[in-house]
Structure formats: structure tokens, C-alpha cells
Amino acid sequence: MVVTAQHFLVTKMAQFRKLALISLLAGILAGLLLTVLQHYLTQPLIFVAEQLEVPTPAHSHEWQPAEGFQRNFFTFLFNTLTGLGFSLLLSAGMYLKNHNGYLRGLAWGLAGYAVFFIAPSLGLPPELPGTESAALLSRQTWWLLTALLTAGGLFCLCFGATRNWKSSGFVLLVVPHLIGAPQPDFESSLAPEALQQQFVIFSALNNGVFWLVLGAVAGLLLKKTDFNYD
């Protein structure tokens, strides 16, 4: 009995190490691609918007990475760590559902894109510097609520066996948008509307590539890894 429990624990730890390695590789690749896309698509727009801001004494003393290598390095580091965390979620989900391969990985990546970008962006679209926003805590709370309910809704729709489960999934998808995202008392943006719209489009493109690559790589590596799903 003790030997069986010990063997089970050793096996699960080995599988977790494999999942962590898969997530690290997928996170590095997806983070690198996201960094390159941001460098050529969204960072120039952010730079233009930053030039329109009027610096305040407090703002001028805040540390910021220097333009060039330093900024690109910290962007890549942040994107890789983000990719690692999200890839762990995708890999664990695919492992638990016994899903692998790049096609199923793409489906899981698309689901992650819907949960963590599309659904929250319907109420809180990406914003350039100089845009008036609601209080940070209220935005973070609504974003988290939306992500959780969207994940639950998609789970019910995709894996629910009965009509009640699927109906519940639809309700979960709609609830955060019926509540509504927190909005500022008045809308104000230093950047022109055309620049803001371009930023939203490019952000959606960047994140779409990020999530699809994350899912496809994780799914492909899961298929090539010798996992015992029992």
C-alpha cells in the first residue's frame, strides 16, 4: 500500500515536471513572438501617445526602462512569464481532459484568447497612455469576474452533457456584460480616436497570435511527450 502510494506520487511529480517544461518552452516561444509583434505594431503607437502626455513632477521621477534593448528585454521577460503562467493553465487543462496535438491545442488557445482577452475587452478595450479610466480596483475586479465566468461558461458549453449545463454556460457568458464594465465619470483621451482604434486592432492581433501559438505548441509537445493519463 505504501509502495503504491509512493509510486503514484513519484509518477505525478514526474508528469508535473514534464508539464512545467512544456509550459516553459511554449511560454518562451509565444512570449518571443508577442514581443516582436508588440515592437513593430503597438509600441510605436504607445510611444506616440506618451509624447502627448504632459509629464507631472511625480511622473517624471518614476523609473522606466530606457528605450531600446532595456525596454525590449523587460517586455520579453514579462511576456515570457505571462506565457509560462497561461501555458501551465492550458497544459494542465489538456492533460486533465486527455487532449493533445496542435489542432486541439489551437482550440484550447482560442478558448484562452476568448477568456482572457476577447471577453474582457468587450467592456474594457486596450487603452493608450493618456486615456481616462475608471478606478483601477473596480476595473481589475470586473476583469477577473469576466474571465472566471467566461471560463466557466465555455466549460459548460463544451463539456456539459445536458441542455441545462449548456444553458448555464450561456448565462455565465452573458452575466458580466449585463453587469457592465466600470466606466470613468467622463471620457477623455489625449490620443486621437484613429490611433486608439488602431491600438485596439493591433492588440487583438498580437494577443490572438500569442494564444494560438501558446496552445498549438503546448498541444504538440503534449502529444510528443510520453504521458500516462491513468
* CA separation, residue 14 to residues 21, 77, 89, 132 (Å): 11, 27, 17, 48
State the pTM of this model: 0.89
pLDDT number for residue 55: 60
Per-residue pLDDT of the chain (230 residues; tens, 9 = 90+): 555 777 667 777 878 888 999 999 999 999 999 999 999 999 999 999 988 876 655 555 466 777 777 888 999 999 999 999 999 999 999 999 999 999 999 999 999 999 999 999 999 999 998 888 889 999 999 999 999 999 999 999 999 989 999 999 999 999 999 999 999 887 778 889 999 999 999 999 999 999 999 999 999 999 988 655 55
